[in-house]
């Protein structure tokens, strides 16, 4: 009890605005995961599309969000304001949710997924930069971890609700998609009325051209090294849609398919905040190394599992690796960039990761179609091992990167 109290006590010190942003993410993720937990199976079983098409749709959707993030992040630096763009992004996602139940063709579903991800792209980098602006330097890991935990709670409540609604409606996909509209608009209302952007610090440099070569160079070599390692890591992290398809292939009943994302996200939510808080007290890169190792283990388990228990264990490991990596990578971006360029920095970070995810999802679909699930997950393990080697070199040559620094006492 005594050992847990410092981490729990620090939660109360996290600024209120970060808690509210976490709740915004929670409601929007309930909405999104109500749809996304069922969408791969809906595409394959109802729309009769191929595994390759699923990979392309998922990859394009996430890459679209990542491409948009670089421009919205840079715009937030140019404007010197973050909340406005976050509201536009969450609003676009909310107003496009009704397209999913109304779509009668694959093309309309692709359009809906595309527009929804454009909204995600617009809000992502400004929101992350806003968190970095709000969070005290010695609590960045915990702040990003808290938002990630709340976001991920929504990510498993959504599939749980999907399971109940699929049972209640006798597998009526459209009815479940309509329910997803409600929490999306709750998230938008919370952001508009309860989040207050902190004033811009006096004397902070005005950025006129955030995406110009001089400004990108001013982000520094440490930042670009973090981006390089994270990009290779993203090549190993293909869409979670393939976890769903792996479980379906091993014999999981249709009504229980959302349990895959529930299990993954429960583990993710439980780990994200403690991992972030620990990274504020110890070394972020060391914890990331552990997270990369966990992903290799997850890929190996999912490659060779021959039953639902084995697949479930692999999915839990997948959630564990997410909790150990995603908030920490975001905190490293904040650690290595000046405040006036945080939007651009997060945008570039998400852009490179999203393009890598596009390639990874397409590759996963091709490997699955041509060689089966085992080849897909083994390729992920190999790519993660390459990223792990790069992270190890980063830890060796830049020991100060990600190291814990005590906050200065007030004079």
Q: Which residue has the higher pLDDT, 295 or 206?
A: 295
59 pLDDT band, cuts 50/70/90, is low
410 pLDDT band, cuts 50/70/90, is very low
Q: Crossing angle of helices 308-335/221-235, nearest 10°?
A: 170
232 pLDDT band, cuts 50/70/90, is confident
Q: How high is the pLDDT of residue 297?
A: 94
- Domain residue ranges of the chain, discontinuous segments joined by +: 15-196+215-397
Decide if 113 contacts 59 (C-beta within 8 A).
no
Specify whether the backbone of 115 is left (phi greater than 0), alpha (psi in -120 to 50) or beta: alpha
Residue 411 has pLDDT above 50, yes or no: no
Q: What is the percent of the chain with per-residue pLDDT over 70, rounded to a whole number?
A: 91
Separation CA 387–CA 397 (nearest Å) = 15
Q: How high is the pLDDT of residue 324?
A: 92
Model-level pTM?
A: 0.79
Residue 408 has pLDDT above 70, yes or no: no
Separation CA 339–CA 343 (nearest Å) = 8
Superfamily of domain 15-196+215-397: MFS general substrate transporter like domains (1.20.1250.20)
Residue 353 has pLDDT above 90, yes or no: no
Residue 26 has pLDDT above 50, yes or no: yes
State pLDDT tens for residues 261-295.
788 888 998 999 998 888 888 888 888 999 999 99
Alpha-carbon distances of 205 from 44, 82, 215, rounded to whole Å: 51, 16, 12
């Amino acid at each position: 009890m005594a050992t847990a109290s410092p981490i729990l006590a620090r939660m109360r010190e996290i600024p209120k605005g970060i808690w509210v942003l976490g709740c915004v993410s929670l409601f929007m993720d309930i909405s999104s995961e109500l749809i996304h937990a069922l969408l791969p199976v809906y595409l394959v079983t109802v729309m009769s599309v191929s595994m390759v098409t699923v990979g392309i749709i998922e990859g394009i959707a996430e890459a679209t969000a990542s491409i948009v993030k670089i421009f919205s992040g840079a715009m937030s630096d140019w404007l010197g304001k973050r909340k406005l763009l976050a509201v536009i992004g969450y609003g676009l996602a909310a107003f496009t949710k009704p397209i999913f139940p109304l779509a009668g063709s694959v093309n309309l579903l692709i359009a809906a997924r595309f527009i929804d991800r454009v909204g995600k792209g617009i809000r992502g980098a400004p929101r992350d930069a806003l968190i970095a602006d709000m969070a005290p330097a010695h609590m960045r890991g915990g702040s990003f971890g808290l938002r990630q935990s709340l976001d991920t709670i929504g990510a498993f409540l959504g599939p749980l609700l999907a399971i109940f609604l699929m049972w209640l409606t006798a597998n009526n996909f459209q009815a479940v998609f309509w329910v997803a509209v409600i929490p999306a608009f709750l998230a938008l209302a919370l952001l508009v009325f309860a989040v207050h952007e902190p004033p811009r610090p006096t004397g902070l440099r005005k950025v006129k051209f955030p995406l110009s070569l001089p400004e990108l160079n001013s982000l520094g070599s440490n930042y670009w090294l973090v981006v390089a390692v994270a990009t290779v890591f993203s090549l190993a992290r293909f869409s979670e849609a393939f976890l769903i398809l792996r479980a379906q292939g091993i014999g999981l009943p249709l009504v229980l398919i959302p349990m895959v994302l529930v299990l993954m996200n429960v583990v993710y939510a439980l780990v994200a905040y403690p991992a972030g808080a620990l990274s504020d007290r110890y070394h972020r890169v060391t914890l990331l190394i552990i997270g990369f190792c966990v992903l290799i283990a997850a890929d190996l388990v999912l490659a060779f599992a021959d039953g639902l228990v084995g697949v479930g264990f692999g999915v839990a490991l997948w959630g564990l690796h997410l909790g150990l990596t995603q908030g920490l990578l975001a905190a490293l971006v904040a650690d290595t960039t000046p405040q006036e360029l945080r939007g651009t920095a997060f945008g570039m970070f998400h852009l490179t990761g999203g393009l890598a995810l596009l390639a990874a999802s397409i590759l996963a679909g091709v490997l699955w179609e041509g060689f089966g699930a085992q080849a897909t997950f083994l390729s992920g393990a190999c790519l993660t091992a390459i990223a792990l080697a790069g992270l190890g070199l980063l830890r060796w040559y830049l020991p100060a990167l990600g190291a814990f620094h005590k906050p200065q006492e007030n004079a």
